[in-house]
């Protein structure tokens, strides 16, 4: 069961999309093309998520982008019994997924009810067009 | 109210003693860094900040991991955790932000110096990053209203509805009053921007490098907000700058000649607002600059005649010239005559001012570029180097809670 | 010479607290001036002698306006700080470095009744306008409905439960003990009488596993604290409270309540860095602390602070608080005898005020022999703290 939205409310969009925070642009461009892109430091190979203009390990400002496999495990989750924003219908869960490459991302599950979630559950990415101008990477139970 | 200022008698009995001042001669600026100053960086402010800070760290001969303190304006839009997560500094022990817009130009150094002098941090990085030209402009009313929080600035409720919404207009009011009271002429006013533009012709990093301006050009330039012409006003800049502060003791092992802080001061006299200071007995002067000057001279135990070069925060020409009066470089009301012809503020003059071009011709980086030029004058590496500089003064913005430092070799 | 550390270089000589409320009916500007007047009176200080002002960025009007309200001719030192009570550090540095004589730290925030566009909402307003680089990280949370601090903390807390086995029945002792203490404190408006662990378990689960009673409520309030040198303090009205140590700490990959990119997300490394520094400066250890004022904005942070500050081992925080015996007044390490933020509302400077009262011996819930007190703030983000002691 996926997150249900109130159709008359705007889902919060990634605000900095390419305008004020350019480091994020390739991530959201990737999502549009149904890929999870990860920023990688060209100098030391460190994977940087969220993206940033300088690698905190080696201070290089050179980086490239790799495509993640899109598989991982649930690291933690939270169930909202009250919606903190009018676009979302409670209850729903936000999950923290640890990707097999290492970085963690926040997302939602499309097929698992909040009460059936477990830490360590293997998941894989799927992409959902939640609004005309917004695609989000979401996850389903793997296998 | 402000009896000290009205009588021009600075009270010292209510100040901490000079001996108790731990900053004096114990703290130094040891690294400076900047990005290119442009009109459209095409990069975000976090990106620019990282580059400027890295440059300052390299300049000092430090490692990024040495930095354990950060200081900036409350106006800066970077979130410190976000910045640290990019820079990778492992244990930041001190952070601070200063209000008051450009007035805090040097106050940031004051607080960083206090942290270093009291052992609360080893190396503090003072940074400022802004896409002022391509992004949000402080000089544009609509942006300004959106940007300034209402509760921070209750006075704006009285003036915004009247269309009185930009810093230029607010300053124009006290600027005109000064011109009126002391018979300052338009021709006199023009020499400040003209001399600064001359300096910028030797500074390849300046916005107006390669674009000279004569006094005639100035006189023919359009009036923006009467009494201020286009070239009375600062440039808009995309860019970032940073400098690093540590103890004189640690500076000995570093790469550069340290610019030692002989005195630092921050002053917020009563009836302070952001540029709209109309309730004081006299509005034709810059009360805060006078207080800053008095405190600097008290702590450094020197006077205006001892200062070899000055970087005065000049968002507009009037702000620069009145500061010359309030800091004692000339008599009250004599600022117009003092700058006439420009010689007094040129490189061999009585007090060379804003030798990299200042905010009018180099860059509008909220005074960071002034501090950097003040440091260069001490190092002897300015594009317009003044001979044998012993004491180099830098001030914060006029018409707001202000600040200043005196650097020495 | 620059000094090695600020140990014993400054003292708190005055505190001013207005009556907290959920609908105060006046401006933050008014409250700021009022609490500073109260603090000056408490210290026996002429208000015109104040020459330094520091505050949290998000709370209350600028120093220049407060100064105008009070009629102080000139300030020679003022600045702002972001988090917890970290502005205290600026006050300490201002006084210790000889930049000012009497520095007041004020926090005036009407978080319930304050106008929507009050400065407390400054950054929030900017977020809505998509105009702040502060908010970048929310790009990766908000579209998925992970919004608001209770949710952010819940994500960490679930993992903490998974890793250490801490249960709500254990964590609930924080609000239970807070409520017991708050019932004795007239300025703690949220509990007239103590609650039980059953009451806690029945509390609404808002962002599972975070309950309503795990979160400190908003409140209207104003507090001022005056700092000067111990020498000047000697001739003043109150027995001075010596600032034995003051420190702040940050750590890599830190974000407010959302440091999810760290290898381990169930620790407070900022708090650990801060605590290590605090003890180093003071030259003492956790065992010397008689009373701890900890940040209970969100209850899961209390056991994590106990662990980070060395009051117990990693993963032992839950056992430490269970049953409440150790953390009550008279226990091994009393925590927040004023009722904490759960009892008084979200107002970080209350911790410093209570510590000062405990050392003066004027608390409504006095801890015997409370001569060395640790104050910690900023759990879940940049941390800061103090060790205060009797003169």
End-of-domain residue from the set A67, A88, A112: A67
Q: Which of B208, B291, B297, B364 is catalytic?
A: B364
User: Does the beta carbon of C86 lie under 8 angstroms from any beta carbon of chain B?
Assistant: yes
Residues 6+ apart with CB under 8 A from C303: C166, C171, C317, C318, C320, C321
Angle between helix axes B287-300 and B317-326 (nearest 10 degrees) is 50
Give the chains touching B; criterion: ≥3 Cβ pairs < 8 Å.
A, C
Q: In Å, how far is A137's CA from the nearest CA of chain C?
A: 9
Same domain, A50 and A80: no
- Cα B350 to its chain centre, rounded Å, is 20
Q: What pLDDT, on the 0 to 100 scale, is given for residue B97?
A: 87
Same domain, A85 and A134: yes
Q: Please name the member of B3, B23, B151 whose beta carbon is closest to the beta carbon of C61.
A: B151
A to B CB pairs, distance under 8 Å: 44
Kindly give the parts of chain A with pLDDT less than 70.
1, 15-20
Structure tokens at C181: 């203490």
Count of helix runs (H) and strand runs (E) in chain B: 15, 11
Q: Phi/psi at B170 (nearest 5 deg)?
A: -60, -45
Same domain, A57 and A81: no
Q: Please name the member of B84, B86, B135 whose beta carbon is closest to the beta carbon of A53.
A: B86
Residues 6+ apart with CB under 8 A from A14: A24, A28, C139, C140, C142, C143
C251 contacts on A by Cβ (under 8 Å) = none
- This complex has an ipTM of 0.94
User: Does the beta carbon of A143 lie under 8 angstroms from any beta carbon of chain B?
Assistant: no
Q: Say whether B127 is catalytic.
A: no
Residue B171 half-sphere exposure toward CB, CA atoms < 13 A: 25
Same domain, A63 and A73: no
Classify residue A9: in a domain, yes or no. Answer: no
> Exposure pattern of B398-409 as b/e (b: 16+ CB <10 Å)?
bbbbbbbbbbbb
Same domain, A87 and A43: no
Contact B267 C74 (CB under 8 A): yes
Residue of chain B minimizing CA distance to C101? B16
Same domain, A92 and A142: yes
Beta bridge partners of A99: A72
Same domain, A140 and A83: yes
Contact B88 A61 (CB under 8 A): no
Taking a C-beta distance cutoff of 8 angstroms, is the pair B39, B236 a contact? yes
Classify residue A63: in a domain, yes or no. Answer: yes
Q: What pLDDT, on the 0 to 100 scale, is given for residue B254?
A: 97
Same domain, A84 and A140: yes
User: Does the beta carbon of A139 lie under 8 angstroms from any beta carbon of chain C?
Assistant: no
Residue of chain C minimizing CA distance to A14? C139
Contact B77 C122 (CB under 8 A): no
**Closest Cα partner for B382 from B361, B407, B408, B356?**
B356
Q: What pLDDT, on the 0 to 100 scale, is given for residue C133?
A: 45
Contact B54 A54 (CB under 8 A): yes
User: Does the beta carbon of B81 lie under 8 angstroms from any beta carbon of chain A?
Assistant: no
A21 contacts on B by Cβ (under 8 Å) = 44, 46
Contact C97 B23 (CB under 8 A): yes
Q: Please name the member of C76, C92, C256 whose beta carbon is closest to the beta carbon of B295.
A: C76
List all residues of chain A from 57 to 76 with a beta carbon under 8 Å from chain B: 57-59, 61
Q: What pLDDT, on the 0 to 100 scale, is given for residue B59?
A: 98
Kindly give the parts of chain B with pLDDT less than 70.
136-155, 157
Same domain, A96 and A140: yes
d(CA A62, CA A54): 8
Contact A49 C156 (CB under 8 A): no
Q: Please name the member of A24, A92, A134 whose beta carbon is closest to the beta carbon of C143.
A: A134
Taking a C-beta distance cutoff of 8 angstroms, is the pair A115, A81 a contact? no
> Exposure pattern of B65-99 as b/e (b: 16+ CB <10 Å)?
ebbbbbbbbbbbbbbbbbbbbbbbbbbbbbbbbbb
Classify residue A78: in a domain, yes or no. Answer: yes
Cβ neighbours, 10 Å, residue B275: 23
Q: Please name the member of A3, A16, A92 whose beta carbon is closest to the beta carbon of C139.
A: A16
Q: Say whether B313 is catalytic.
A: yes
Query: Which residue has 């805060």 as its token pair?
Result: B288
DSSP 8-state assignment for residue A35: -
Contact A21 C136 (CB under 8 A): yes
Classify residue A112: in a domain, yes or no. Answer: yes
Structure tokens at C160: 């903490």
User: Does the beta carbon of A15 lie under 8 angstroms from any beta carbon of chain B?
Assistant: no
Q: In Å, how far is A77's CA from the nearest CA of chain C?
A: 5
Contact C75 B267 (CB under 8 A): yes
**Closest Cα partner for C9 from C232, C226, C225, C237?**
C232
Give the chains touching A; criterion: ≥3 Cβ pairs < 8 Å.
B, C
Q: Please name the member of B43, B47, B88 whose beta carbon is closest to the beta carbon of A57.
A: B88
Same domain, A49 and A91: no
List all residues of chain B from 85 to 104 with a beta carbon under 8 Å from chain A: 85-88
pLDDT per residue rounded down to tens, chain C (391 residues): 678 899 999 999 999 999 999 988 888 889 999 999 999 999 999 999 999 999 988 787 888 889 999 999 999 999 988 888 999 999 999 999 999 999 999 999 888 887 544 433 333 333 333 344 445 567 889 899 998 899 999 999 999 999 999 999 999 999 999 999 999 999 899 999 999 999 999 999 999 999 999 999 999 999 999 999 999 999 999 999 999 999 999 999 998 899 999 999 999 999 999 999 999 999 999 999 999 999 999 999 999 999 999 999 999 999 999 999 999 999 999 999 999 999 999 999 999 999 999 999 999 999 999 999 999 999 999 999 999 999 9
User: Does the beta carbon of A109 lie under 8 angstroms from any beta carbon of chain C?
Assistant: no
Cα torsion through C93, C94, C96, C100, rounded to 10 = 180
Which 3 state secondary structure label does DSSP give C251? coil
Classify residue A7: in a domain, yes or no. Answer: no
d(CA C129, CA A139): 30
pLDDT tens digits, one per residue of C33-43 = 999 999 999 99
Q: What pLDDT, on the 0 to 100 scale, is given for residue B271?
A: 84
Residue of chain A minimizing CA distance to C126? A15
Contact C99 B107 (CB under 8 A): no
**Closest Cα partner for B267 from B174, B359, B397?**
B397
Contact B82 C79 (CB under 8 A): no
Classify residue A131: in a domain, yes or no. Answer: yes
Structure tokens at C350: 């209350």
Same domain, A135 and A73: yes
Domain count, chain A: 2
Structure tokens at C134: 């502060």
Where are the strands (E) in chain A, listed by range? 37-41, 47-48, 63-67, 71-80, 92-99, 104-107, 122-131, 134-141
Cβ neighbours, 10 Å, residue B264: 31
Contact C151 A94 (CB under 8 A): yes
Domain enclosing residue A48, as ranges: 14-67
Q: In Å, how far is A46's CA from the nearest CA of chain B?
A: 12
- Domains (ranges, CATH) in chain C? 10-118+221-228 (3.40.47.10), 148-210+239-391 (3.40.47.10)
End-of-domain residue from the set A27, A47, A67: A67
A22 contacts on B by Cβ (under 8 Å) = 43-44, 47
Interface test with B, best of C99, C103, C111, C253 (most B CBs within 10 A): C99
Q: What is the CATH number of the domain that holds A82?
A: 2.40.50
Same domain, A73 and A135: yes
Largest CA distance in chain A: 46
Contact C145 A15 (CB under 8 A): no
Q: What pLDDT, on the 0 to 100 scale, is given for residue C38?
A: 98
pLDDT tens digits, one per residue of C158-173 = 999 999 999 999 999 9
Classify residue A5: in a domain, yes or no. Answer: no
B98 contacts on C by Cβ (under 8 Å) = 78-80
Classify residue A38: in a domain, yes or no. Answer: yes
d(CA C328, CA C180): 9
Interface test with A, best of B50, B58, B77 (most A CBs within 10 A): B50
């Amino acid at each position: 069961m996926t997150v249900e939205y109130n159709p008359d409310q705007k889902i919060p969009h990634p605000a900095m999309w390419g305008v004020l925070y350019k480091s994020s642009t390739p991530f959201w461009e990737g999502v549009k093309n149904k890929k999870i892109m990860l920023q990688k430091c060209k100098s030391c190979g460190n994977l940087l998520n969220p993206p940033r203009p300088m690698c905190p390990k080696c201070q290089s400002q050179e980086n490239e982008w790799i495509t993640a496999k899109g598989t991982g495990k649930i690291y933690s989750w939270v169930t909202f019994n009250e919606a903190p924003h009018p676009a979302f219908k409670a209850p729903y869960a936000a999950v923290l997924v640890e990707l097999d490459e290492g970085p963690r991302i926040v997302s939602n599950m499309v097929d698992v009810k909040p009460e059936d979630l477990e830490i360590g559950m293997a998941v894989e990415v799927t992409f959902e067009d939640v609004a005309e101008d917004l695609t989000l990477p979401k996850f389903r139970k793997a296998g | 109210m402000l009896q000290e200022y009205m009588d021009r008698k600075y009270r010292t009995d209510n100040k901490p003693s000079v001996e108790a001042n731990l900053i004096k001669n114990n703290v130094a600026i040891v690294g400076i860094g900047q990005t290119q100053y442009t009109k459209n960086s095409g990069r975000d402010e976090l990106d620019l900040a990282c580059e400027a800070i890295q440059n300052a760290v390299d300049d000092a001969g430090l490692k990024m991991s040495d930095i354990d303190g950060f200081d900036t304006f409350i106006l800066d839009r970077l979130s410190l955790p976000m910045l640290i997560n990019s820079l990778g500094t492992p244990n930041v022990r001190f952070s601070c932000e200063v209000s008051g817009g450009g007035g805090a130009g040097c106050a940031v150094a004051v607080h960083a110096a206090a942290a270093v002098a009291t052992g609360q941090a080893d190396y503090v990085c003072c940074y400022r990053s802004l896409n002022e030209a391509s992004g949000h402009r402080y000089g544009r009313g609509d942006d300004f209203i959106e940007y300034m929080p209402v509760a921070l600035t209750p006075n704006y409720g009285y003036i915004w509805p009247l269309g009185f919404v930009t810093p230029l207009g607010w300053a124009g009011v006290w600027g005109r009053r000064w011109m009126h009271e002391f018979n300052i002429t338009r021709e006199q006013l023009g020499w400040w921007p003209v001399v600064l533009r001359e300096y910028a012709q030797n500074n390849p990093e300046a916005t107006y490098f390669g674009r000279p301006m004569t006094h005639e050009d100035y006189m023919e330039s359009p009036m923006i907000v009467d009494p201020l012409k286009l070239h009375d006003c600062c440039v808009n800049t995309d860019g970032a700058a940073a400098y690093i502060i540590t103890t004189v003791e640690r500076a000995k092992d570093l790469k550069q000649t340290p610019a030692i802080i002989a005195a630092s001061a921050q002053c917020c006299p009563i009836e302070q607002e952001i540029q709209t200071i109309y309730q004081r007995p006299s509005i034709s002067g810059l009360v805060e600059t006078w207080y800053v000057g008095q405190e600097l001279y008290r702590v450094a135990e020197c006077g205006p005649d001892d200062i070899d070069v000055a970087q005065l925060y000049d968002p507009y020409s009037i702000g620069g010239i009145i500061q010359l009066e309030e800091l004692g470089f000339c008599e009250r009301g004599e600022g117009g005559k003092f700058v006439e012809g420009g010689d007094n503020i040129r490189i061999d003059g009585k007090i060379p001012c804003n030798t990299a071009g200042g905010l009018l011709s180099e860059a509008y980086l909220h005074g960071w570029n002034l501090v950097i030029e003040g440091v260069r004058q001490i190092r002897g590496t300015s594009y317009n180097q003044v001979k044998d500089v012993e004491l180099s003064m830098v001030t914060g913005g006029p018409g707001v809670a202000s600040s200043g430092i005196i650097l020495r070799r | 010479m620059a000094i090695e550390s600020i140990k014993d270089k400054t003292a708190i000589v005055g505190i001013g607290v207005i009556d907290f409320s959920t609908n105060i009916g006046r401006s933050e500007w008014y409250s700021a001036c009022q609490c500073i007047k109260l603090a000056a009176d408490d210290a026996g200080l002429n208000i015109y002698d104040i020459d330094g002002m520091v505050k949290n960025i998000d709370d209350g009007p600028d120093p220049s306006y407060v100064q105008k309200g009070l009629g102080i001719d000139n300030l020679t030192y003022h600045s702002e700080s972001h988090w917890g009570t970290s502005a205290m550090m600026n006050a300490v540095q201002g006084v210790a470095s000889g930049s000012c004589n009497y520095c007041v730290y004020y926090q005036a925030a009407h978080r319930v009744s304050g106008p929507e566009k009050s400065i407390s909402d400054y950054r929030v307003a900017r977020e809505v306008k998509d105009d702040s680089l502060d908010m970048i990280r929310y790009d990766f949370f908000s579209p998925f409905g992970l919004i608001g601090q209770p949710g952010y903390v819940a994500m960490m807390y679930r993992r903490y439960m998974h890793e250490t086995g801490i249960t709500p029945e254990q964590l609930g002792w924080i609000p239970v003990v807070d409520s017991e203490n708050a019932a004795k404190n007239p300025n703690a408006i949220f509990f007239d009488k103590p609650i039980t662990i059953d009451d806690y378990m029945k509390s609404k689960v808002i962002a599972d596993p975070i309950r309503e009673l795990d979160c400190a409520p908003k409140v209207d309030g104003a507090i001022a604290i005056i700092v000067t040198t111990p020498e000047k303090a000697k001739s003043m009205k109150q027995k001075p409270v010596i600032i034995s140590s003051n420190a702040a700490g940050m750590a890599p990959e830190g974000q407010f309540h959302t440091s999810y990119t760290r290898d381990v997300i169930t620790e407070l490394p900022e708090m650990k860095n801060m605590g290590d520094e605090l003890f180093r400066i003071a030259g003492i250890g956790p065992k010397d602390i008689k009373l701890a004022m900890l940040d209970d904005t969100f209850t899961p942070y209390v056991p994590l602070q106990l662990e980070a500050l060395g009051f117990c081992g990693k993963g032992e925080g839950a056992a430490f608080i269970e049953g409440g015996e150790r953390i009550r007044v008279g226990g091994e390490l009393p925590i927040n005898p004023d009722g904490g933020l759960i009892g008084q509302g979200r107002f970080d400077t209350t911790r410093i005020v209570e510590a000062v009262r405990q050392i003066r011996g004027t608390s409504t819930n006095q801890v015997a022999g409370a001569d060395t007190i640790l104050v910690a703030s900023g759990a879940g983000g940049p941390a800061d703290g103090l060790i205060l002691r009797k003169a």
